[in-house]
Amino acid sequence: MGRFAAHLFTSDFQFFVPKYGVGLGEEDFREMASSAGAKQVEHHIADLVYIQSGNMVAVEGSTEGVGIDGIEWNAGHTPGGRFAVFSCLMRPVL
């Protein structure tokens, strides 16, 4: 798993991931990421879409990787791999 950019968020940020639900803070975020059921995941960083308003941000994107079951996916080429995450209480970018 990659590094979490904790410096961009307050310690009590909230997020929502449909398959996980609502989480609060870095510990919940790490739990959600580790329970995703993947051996390998790569985010298509150049294709991420950000929508920001006040202290809230939504991110839509896609991934490719290999599940713990050995099945590969690549968003746009195979089923799965698309995501949207909604967070609030983000630190202001200076």
pTM value? 0.62
pLDDT tens-digit map of 14-37 = 887 777 788 898 899 888 877 777
Share of the chain above pLDDT 90, in %: 7
| DSSP element (H, E) containing 30 | helix 25-34
- Asked whether 9 and 84 are in contact (CB, 8 A), the reply is no
Beta carbons of 73 and 81 less than 8 angstroms apart: yes
pLDDT for 52-77, tens place per residue? 888 778 889 998 988 888 889 899 89
Contact residues for 41 (Cβ-Cβ < 8 A; gap 6+)? 1, 63, 64, 65
The Cα–Cα gap between 38 and 42 comes to 10
| Per-residue confidence (pLDDT) for residue 88, from 0 to 100 | 67
Domain ranges, ordered by start, for the chain: 6-90
